[in-house]
Amino acid sequence: MEIRAAVTSSKGEDFHIETIQLDEPKRGEVLIRIVACGICHTDMVARDQEYPVPLPAVLGHEGAGVVEKVGEGVSYVQPGDHVVLGYAYCGKCRSCLSGHPFVCERFFELNFCGIMEDGTKRHHRLEQELSNFFGQSSFATYAIANERNVFKVDKDVDLALLGPLGCGIQTGAGAVLNRLKPEAGSSIAVFGAGAVGLSAIMAANAIGCGIIVAVDVHDHRLELAKELGATHVVNAIKVNPVEEIKNITGGGVNYAAETAGRPGILRQAVDSLTFFGKVVQIGAPPLGTDEKIDTNDLLLFNKTITGVVEGDSIQRIFIPQLINLYKQGRFPFDKLVKFYKFEDINQAVKDSHTGKTIKPIIKME
Ligand SMILES: [Zn+2]
Ligand SMILES: [Zn+2]
């Protein structure tokens, strides 16, 4: 069928909206009419070829839409269902079987190598094949995904809002709710107040953390952090964040999340912890970053450092949980969002880059 898609043809270039061909869904696959798709930093990582996604490609991995048609053998969804699309995973490897599909042994292949599970592609432009991204390619009017990475959502919430739950929002919220699991009343510091960090802050607030310290270098982001539940904010350009956090908490925080992905920040996060403190690395620093951690401090204070991707999230369980919190007003992630028309996708990318918009979402119509 003919679809309109924002195509990435060469490294670093702007998106071009084109009419291309999309195949029918194969066995186990679902055709989805995309209503909206969030823009995430990882789309830019692929566009700029920091990850070598074969080009040309249709990027976009925070899609939300309505099931149009199901392939043979699909039982989880039917036409008309509202769905969010998530990352692709195989469902068969040791990681998937043990409940950790976000570290699927085929994660890189299925999300970044341009192919679907059977090794083939679904998008065509004349005789040329285009790469798939994250098993969905949602910068388009229609997408095909395996039913495994499609998640049914309630019809009484605005579907256009929900796509980022499948990546950026769950990454921050899940790191707190699924991995750190802070006790009510405990203290947490979140380094970086972008979409992922602010999601971590909302999650910490939803679960009842007593002290929530947001650390960033932009005052406007810290203001928003306060609105979303931060009890204290620290501008790391103006003061030493480690000293400030120790002052606020009387010795250090119980938990910390590093979402900035900048060298040196993990060290600050670890240094901010008190006894038995736990820090989670969420942001991706440049490849080859060599973080200098004080190992005696780790030992004597019994600290833990852990990494987490995609928020340690089993999406069929976790996405409905986030939507429930949103409905209760305890996870107001809509405050991060600005909607753009499909034609304005390049402007949305620019606004995200400059920090003007925290979470841009492209509406397809
Ligand atoms: Zn797997
Ligand atoms: Zn993402």
**pLDDT confidence of residue 289:** 83
Residue 288 has pLDDT above 90, yes or no: no
Domains of the chain: 2-166+332-363 (3.90.180.10), 174-308 (3.40.50.720)
Task: Indicate which ligand has the atom closest to the C-alpha of 61.
Answer: 2
Q: Is the pLDDT of residue 206 over 90?
A: yes
| CA 358 / ligand 2 centre spacing (Å) | 13
pLDDT score recorded for residue 329? 96
Cα 57 to middle of ligand 1, angstroms:
23
Neighbours of 231 (CB within 10 A): 18
User: Cα of 309 to ligand 1 centre, how many Å?
Assistant: 14
Find the 77 Cα to ligand 2 centroid distance in Å. 24
149-167 pLDDT per residue, tens: 999 999 999 999 999 999 9
**8-12-13-17 Cα dihedral, nearest 10 degrees:** 30
pLDDT of 349 strictly over 90 = yes
Q: Is the pLDDT of residue 245 over 90?
A: yes
Ligand 1 geometric centre to CA of 21 (Å): 29
Neighbours of ion ligand 1 (CB under 5 A): 89-90, 93, 96, 104
Residue 324 has a CB neighbour count (10 Å cut-off) of 13
Percent share of the chain, pLDDT over 90: 93
Q: Which ligand is nearest to the CA of 170?
A: 2
Q: What is the pLDDT of residue 355?
A: 85
All residues at 6 or more sequence positions from 343 whose CB lies less than 8 Å from its CB, including other chains: 17
In the predicted structure, residue 365 carries a pLDDT above the cut 90: no
Which amino acid belongs to residue 91? Answer: G
| Close Cβ partners of 360 (under 8 Å, ≥ 6 residues apart) | 38, 39, 337, 338, 339, 340, 348, 349, 351, 352
Please check the confidence at residue 287 and state whether its pLDDT lies above 90: no
List, in order, residues 6 or more apart from 303 with CB less than 8 Å away. 270, 273, 276, 277, 278, 279, 297
Cβ-Cβ contacts under 8 Å for 181 (sequence gap 6 or more):
none
Share of residues in the chain with pLDDT > 70 (%): 100
Which H, E and C letters describe the chain, residue by residue?
Answer: CEEEEEEECCCCCCCEEEEEEECCCCCCEEEEEEEEEECCHHHHHHHCCCCCCCCCEECCCCEEEEEEEECCCCCCCCCCCEEEECCCCCCCCHHHHCCCHHHCCCHHHHHHCCCCCCCCCCEEECCEEEECCCCCCCCECEEEEEHHHEEECCCCCCHHHCHHHHCHHHHHHHHHHHHHCCCCCCEEEEECCCHHHHHHHHHHHHCCCCEEEEEECCHHHHHHHHHCCCCEEEECCCCCHHHHHHHHHCCCEEEEEECCCCCCHHHHHHHCEEEEEEEEECCCCCCCCCCCCCHHHHHHHCCEEEECCHHHCCHHHHHHHHHHHHHCCCCCHHHHEEEEEHHHHHHHHHHHHHCCCCEEEEECC
107 C-alpha vs ligand 1 centroid, how far in Å?
7
Which ligand places an atom closest to the C-alpha of 282? 2
Q: Rounded to an integer, what distance in angstroms lies between the CA atom of residue 92 and that of residue 104?
A: 9
pLDDT average, residue stretch 196-219: 97
Ligand that comes closest to the CA of residue 172 = 2
Q: Are strands 123-125 and 82-85 parallel, antiparallel or unpaired?
A: unpaired
Give the Å distance between the CA of 314 and the centre of ligand 1: 13
pTM of the model: 0.94
Q: How far is the CA of 297 from the centre of ligand 2 (A)?
A: 33
Q: Which of 86-90, 113-117, 287-291 has the lowest mean pLDDT?
A: 287-291
CA distance 201 to 188: 9
- Whether the predicted pLDDT of 187 surpasses 90: yes
pLDDT of residue 93: 97
111 alpha carbon to ligand 1 midpoint, in Å? 12
Q: Which residues contact 332 (CB under 8 A, 6 or more apart)?
A: 202, 228, 326
Nearest ligand (C-alpha, residue 45): 2
Q: Residue 86: nearest ligand to its CA? A: 2
| Residue 145 pLDDT level (bands cut at 50, 70, 90) | very high
Q: Among all ligands shown, which has an atom nearest to the Cα of 103?
A: 1
Q: Note the pLDDT tens digit of each residue in 36-82.
A: 999 998 999 999 998 889 999 999 999 999 999 999 999 999 999 99
- For residue 352, which ligand has an atom nearest its CA? 2
CA distance 186 to 18: 51
**Alpha carbon of 76 to ligand 1 centroid (Å):** 19
Confidence check: pLDDT of 193 > 90: yes
User: How far is the centre of ligand 1, averaged over its atoms, from the C-alpha of 95 (Å)?
Assistant: 6
How many A from CA of 329 to the centre of ligand 2? 24
Rounded distance from Cα 158 to ligand 2 centre (Å): 20
Expressed in angstroms and rounded, the spacing between residue 168 Cα and the centre of ligand 2 is: 5
